[in-house]
Structure 1
């Protein structure tokens, strides 16, 4: 098993208040299963995340394995109960990923939620965001946390994933809920939304790509993004806008990582 890495980034967006410091821990792409991402493994990840003393924890989607032909998925309540042990003064907040939709046959059949993964999170007290925005205060300043629904939620043909995929994300409607000039942190499982994110958003946090799962000399040969390596991994700055793409924790397609170890992300914002 590849050793878990704590990836630290200090980000200072231009529109972030000088007097506010926000310590964010982000966990992405857990892909819970009975093999390498079982309950004891998730419990260790949770303990390491708590040891970082975050102000806020964000969960960036893909709790379900997506590799059910090779390994058994964990019961939803098992991985959710482990994540319920996460601790942060401003709470634990989550969005869903594409696999949380793709593996839910009932949600696919009705072309919408609720999902089993989303229900599992909410049942243990974790706040789920589906094109929602909520306001918080830290150090006497306010900020918004917004979360998009998956951009790859609904499959037109389950035998040919990614063909005719329909997203349920609503960036415009989500940001319309922001009612003042306080800065915004956006959770978006897939990073491909980033070119559409306005300067109004201080930081976009994403997962999904696993950093390509294999990286050589800073590039991945295969990335599940229409932008290739542009938004595959790490801190990206474009026209003053900031994106942080996590390398994630689990595996997808193949149980292989090279050059991009599983990681917990610690973001010092401000």
Structure 2
């Protein structure tokens, strides 16, 4: 068993500072650190007396050794211990960046681990860009279903793509909506950048919301946020990995056209609320996010 102290002592004894920094970002944080971050607020259009505890998880990128089966089970246990009303999975289950992994984990295996998540209102998921990009069959067909969505649905987890479902807690109804991924297909590479085509259909998704109850939106990439209408109480996103490297509150590189604007945390713009988060980078360790809507956060 390698302890944290032994792990760091070995690194210091054998690696230079630059290598230590890289190893810390790619090994120590994903393998050993796990934060729980709480937010509590009442968003617009949320009905008085309606309390809802959400646990949000994003960007697992399941692979060995970084996000292995034991690590995934630890995150599931942490999420369940928070006693959420509902659990939302915000995409990017499939691993990318082959140079940093020793082996992929089969979708049936990681989906089976996620099936142990527990919440009275269920476990709900959307796909991220890597759930398309790392699926050769889906990319070749330019169509689903993906390996990720098939595994999740077989595990009893509903996957949303431009879809919405009306839910209710203690007589208070709300809509949960999930947007198709905005970067699903890579059409070509030009000047070192991917030209992508999404599967998102914001208008089509909202056409399925047939009453005026509040809406919670899942969208893997936060770049959709400026286009989200006022009727959405809360948008939850992943993808930015907290900016990937975050030092002194600043992320020099953020995979978003808006840079720092939606990199991390609870963002409020024009009375609209966005939660953006992700794991496994320097200064942004893996994270379980719990959001208490309509009340103060309990001391969980």
Q: TM-score, normalised by structure 2?
A: 0.85
Q: CA RMSD in A?
A: 1.3
For 2:116, the equivalent position in structure 1 comes to: 85
1:150 has 2:174 as partner: no
1:269 has 2:293 as partner: yes
1:136 has 2:160 as partner: no
1:21 has 2:51 as partner: yes
Aligned runs of 1:35-184 on 2, under 5 Å? 35-71=65-101, 72-157=103-188, 162-184=193-215
- SS at 1:156 equivalent: strand
Change (3 A) 1:162 1:187: farther
Aligned length: 263
Runs (5+) with no aligned partner, structure 2: 1-27, 295-300
Q: Deviations over 1:3-36 (max 9, x none)?
A: 1000100121121001100100000000000112
2-side partners of 1:162 and 1:116: how far apart?
A: 25
Which of 242, 248, 255 is residue 211 of structure 1 equivalent to? Answer: 242
Shift of 1:162: 4.8
Q: TM-score, normalised by structure 1?
A: 0.94
Shift of 1:96: 0.2
Residue pair 1:19, 1:139 contacting (<8 A) in 2 also? no
**Higher Cα Rg: structure 1 or 2?**
2
2-side partners of 1:11 and 1:186: how far apart?
A: 16
Residue pair 1:46, 1:83 contacting (<8 A) in 2 also? yes
For 1:235, the equivalent position in structure 2 comes to: 266
Residue pair 2:189, 2:195 contacting (<8 A) in 1 also? no
Residue pair 1:21, 1:139 contacting (<8 A) in 2 also? no
2-side partners of 1:67 and 1:76: how far apart?
A: 17
Residue pair 1:148, 1:171 contacting (<8 A) in 2 also? yes
2-side partners of 1:182 and 1:145: how far apart?
A: 10
1-side partners of 2:212 and 2:227: how far apart?
A: 19
For 2:284, the equivalent position in structure 1 comes to: 260
